């Protein structure tokens, strides 16, 4: 097996699975370059329901404005949640072109429908470039999304329109949720709830729900058929993951179908007992991300995991040493491991890598 130390700039762990789990919530998808999505009338609304939707714009070939010859025209999308629900928007992925000056060639903007003709007081700035992680909250549940794309052809200052990409996660949350039912998760010190299947899955990352603890995670992750579990402190946006080693061990019990585990930045949830549980209860794991989990990740923990059928392992910015890498090269994972990230591991020498 060849273990290579990849430079920090190039070390990108890519998760490309698009198979959403049957135990997780499904997302309704809207393609924003569809002519039926853009509207010039605020009476034409997309009804979000009580769940969440994906809004996608992927390498368009033409501008999406109703009148592409009018430079001031734009696509307007009106999303409405049910009564007593608000809407949280998270920009998961974004590439909208900019001029060298920083001015927007393409842009997206969010606002609330204030029911004032031709004017909206509550709105965000124009967003362009790359701003994943941007969040917008509409507590009234009446969301407006404006998108404008510039010219189709490349110039000396920006590329052609095919580079444009945008993914929005639009999630409904219940307001005044004092006593959530068994399908809901309540934000700590708040009166907002969302459907529990959207908590820290492969998509949901809104900044509106700021605390998830052991009890909540055990509730949302209880199925033995779970195939993907994302408890990344990064991927969950501003959600603070309050899971403890005891809680994580309970979550991971009897997860023989689990293929993907992301604990990035969640060092307080890891200890040697957790590694033993992962080995025993999650025998099908193929991808593990434990980067930035220092001091939770150590040489002993990796020695425990070395016989799993891993294809991808991220342990960057941890306190592992050469001993851990040598151990991996001697375990069963040497037959399957295709990618390992160890950038930022200061205790790894050139001989170890």
CATH number at residue 306: 3.80.10.10
Domain count, the chain: 2
Alpha helical stretches, state H, the chain: 214-220, 245-252, 272-281, 299-305, 322-330
Average pLDDT over residues 272-290: 94
Tell me the pLDDT tens digit for each residue of 79-89. 999 999 999 88
Does one domain contain both 148 and 272?
no
CB-CB contact of 252 with 278 (8 Å): yes
Asked if the structure places residue 118 within a domain, the reply is: yes
How far is 152 from 33, CA to CA, in rounded Å?
Answer: 14
- 65/92 same-domain check: yes
Residue 85 CB partners (closer than 8 Å, separation 6+)? 48, 50, 141, 172, 173, 174, 175
What CATH number did the domain enclosing 142 receive?
Answer: 2.60.120.290
Share of the chain above pLDDT 70, in %: 69
Contacts of 172 (CB under 8 A, 6+ apart): 48, 49, 50, 51, 52, 81, 82, 85, 86, 87, 88, 141, 194
What pTM was computed for the model?
0.54
d(CA 120, CA 143): 11
Asked if 147 and 220 sit in the same domain, the reply is no
Determine the structural domain holding residue 92 and report its residue range: 28-195
Q: If you average pLDDT over residues 318-327, what whole number do you get?
A: 92
**pLDDT at residue 305, rounded to an integer:** 94
Q: Are residues 235 and 178 in the same domain?
A: no
40 lies in some domain: yes
> pLDDT tens digit string along 161-200?
989 999 888 988 888 887 777 666 666 556 778 766 665 5
What pLDDT does residue 231 have?
76
The reply to whether 289 and 185 lie within a common domain is: no
**How high is the pLDDT of residue 287?**
92
Q: What is the pLDDT of residue 321?
A: 92
């Amino acid at each position: 097996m060849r273990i290579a130390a990849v430079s920090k700039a190039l070390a990108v762990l890519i998760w490309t699975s698009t198979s959403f789990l049957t135990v997780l919530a499904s997302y309704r998808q809207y393609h924003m370059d569809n002519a039926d999505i853009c509207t010039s009338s605020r009476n034409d609304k997309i009804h979000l329901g009580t769940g969440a939707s994906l809004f996608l714009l992927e390498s368009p070939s033409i501008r999406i404005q109703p009148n592409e010859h009018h430079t001031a025209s734009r696509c307007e999308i009106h999303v409405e949640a049910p009564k007593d629900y608000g809407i949280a928007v998270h920009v998961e992925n974004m590439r909208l072109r900019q001029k060298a000056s920083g001015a927007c060639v393409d842009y997206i903007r969010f606002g609330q429908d204030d029911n004032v003709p031709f004017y909206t007081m509550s709105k965000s700035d124009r967003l362009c470039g790359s701003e994943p992680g941007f969040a917008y909250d509409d507590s009234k549940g009446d969301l407006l999304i404006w998108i404008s794309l510039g010219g189709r052809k490349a110039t000396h200052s920006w590329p052609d329109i095919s580079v444009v990409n945008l993914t929005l996660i639009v999630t409904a949350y219940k307001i005044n949720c004092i006593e959530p039912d068994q399908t809901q998760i309540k934000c700590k010190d708040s009166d907002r709830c969302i459907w529990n299947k959207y908590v820290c899955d492969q998509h949901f990352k809104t900044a509106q729900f700021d605390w998830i603890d052991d009890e909540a995670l055990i509730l949302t992750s209880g199925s033995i058929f779970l195939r993907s579990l994302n408890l990344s402190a990064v991927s969950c946006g501003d959600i603070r993951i309050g899971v403890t080693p005891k809680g994580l061990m309970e979550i991971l019990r009897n997860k023989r179908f689990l293929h993907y585990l992301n604990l990035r930045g969640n060092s307080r949830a890891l200890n040697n007992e957790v590694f033993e549980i992962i080995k025993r209860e999650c025998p099908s794991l193929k991808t593990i991300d434990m980067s930035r989990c220092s001091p939770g990740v150590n040489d002993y923990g990796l020695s425990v995991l070395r016989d799993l059928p891993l294809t991808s392992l991220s342990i960057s910015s941890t306190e592992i040493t050469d001993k851990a890498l040598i151990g991996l090269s001697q375990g069963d994972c040497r037959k399957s491991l295709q990618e390992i990230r160890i950038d930022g591991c200061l205790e790894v020498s050139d001989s170890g890598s």
